[in-house]
Amino acid sequence: MKPREIRKNVYLVGAVDWDRRLFDALIPLPQGTSYNAYVVVGEKKTALIDSVEPSHLSELQAQLAELPAPDYIVSQHGEQDHSGSIALLAEKYPQATVVTNEKCKAELIDHVLVPEDRFQVVADGDSLDLGGKTLTFAFTPWVHWPETMCTWLPEDKLLFTCDFFGSHLATSDVYADEATAYSGAKRYYAEIMMPFAAQVAKDVEKVAQFPIETICPSHGPLFGRPAFIMDLYREWAGGAPRNVVTLAYVSMHYTTRLMADHLTAALAQRGVAVERFELTGADIGDLASSLVDAATVLVGTPTVLTGPHPAAGYAALLMNTLKPKARQIGVFGSFGWAGKAPEKLAELLPNFKGELLAPVMVKGMPKAEGYAALDALAASIAERHQGLASR
């Protein structure tokens, strides 16, 4: 694409990665992604803010060729999808200085081999005068690495946020359609921001001091109404969980699936919403998104030898890493001759500080006693969800 002017002498550049379907060999990308960078042209100097995944460098270079050469290359975050091309850009533009903070400088030296003599290190609140355009740097750690920062352009009331407020979405649109932006933004928050929810909430309020007219992230579309995405982040990071159960299960011989079916119906009958995931085919991004709101998480697993099914173990590791705000987690499933599936799953959840519900495990096929235990579990969850808002 050509550079797109979003304000006078401020351009959206970068690349749309329409076909990418996996990020970091971990995160599914059902809608692709983008690597947004921005060029701010002042009366005296020009700054490039962030770059692109190295495989898309030629696209960025073609866009930069149509604009004044950068005097500054601002790195807001050291991860390769935003800074992986900076060493090559620094070589192409020998007059350019790489502007970042001390922590990010170290990452750029280690991860992408930017020469140490190319840096200008800035502190929180420092400004860079381009001539009629001013870049002010606001440190926003742990959204989602320790060195991340935002860049405020007061003359145009633009906030450049890198991963903060982003979404993995390949689109030709510049601005987000709020009706369709919600799910992608929530999924993105769940996958990389949720483990740092307390710090995220603080960073939202830190940037809220600026009279922002547009939020310019480095993944996905821009937000022309900042309150939309900022209020969502406030809710996701700091709000109470909702009357939702995330039910993730795997079944080898139908028995655990029968228990999942019964639990789903029993919870729905008691007014509890269920978001259900069969773990051998579930998209982990969808599962992560469900965890943002859920007050209770239920993991269903058959017993493999003496422990949980590996897919259930992976789900537990994911939950432990993402640190959702669920208040309770429970385990259900079946076993053949013996097993310690609930205990071994609990060992995979050291970060969970809520209540571990009494497990419901049955030998072989569930019978009347097992179904009664599932009903009791559903009733106890419904009682614990009293007063929680719906989805």
| Residue extents of the structural domains in the chain | 4-238, 243-384
Indicate the pTM of the whole model: 0.95
Which distant-in-sequence residues (6+ apart) come within 8 Å of 91 by Cβ?
A: none
pLDDT tens series, the chain, 391 aa: 899 999 999 999 999 999 999 999 999 999 999 999 999 999 999 999 999 999 999 999 999 999 999 999 999 999 999 999 999 999 999 999 999 999 999 999 999 999 999 999 999 999 999 999 999 999 999 999 999 999 999 999 999 999 999 999 999 999 999 988 999 999 999 999 999 999 999 999 999 999 999 999 999 999 999 999 999 999 999 999 999 999 999 999 999 999 999 999 999 999 999 999 999 999 999 999 999 999 999 999 999 998 999 999 999 999 999 999 999 999 999 999 878 999 999 999 999 999 999 999 999 999 999 999 999 999 999 999 999 999 8
Beta bridge partners of 300: 249, 332
Calpha distance 59→73 (Å, rounded): 17
Helix axes 178-188, 284-291, angle to 10 degrees: 90
**For 4-238, which CATH superfamily applies?**
Ribonuclease Z/Hydroxyacylglutathione hydrolase-like (3.60.15.10)
How is domain 243-384 classified at the CATH fold level?
A: Rossmann fold (3.40.50)
pLDDT at residue 66 in the model: 98
Which distant-in-sequence residues (6+ apart) come within 8 Å of 223 by Cβ?
A: 165, 175, 176, 181, 214, 215, 217, 229
Q: Is 168 helix (H, G, I), strand (E, B) or coil?
A: coil
pLDDT at residue 197 in the model: 98
pLDDT at residue 344 in the model: 96
pLDDT at residue 337 in the model: 83
Calpha distance 120→125 (Å, rounded): 14
Angle CA(177)–CA(181)–CA(184) in degrees, nearest 5? 155
pLDDT at residue 269 in the model: 98
Q: What is the dihedral of CA 163, 165, 167, 170, to 10 degrees?
A: -90
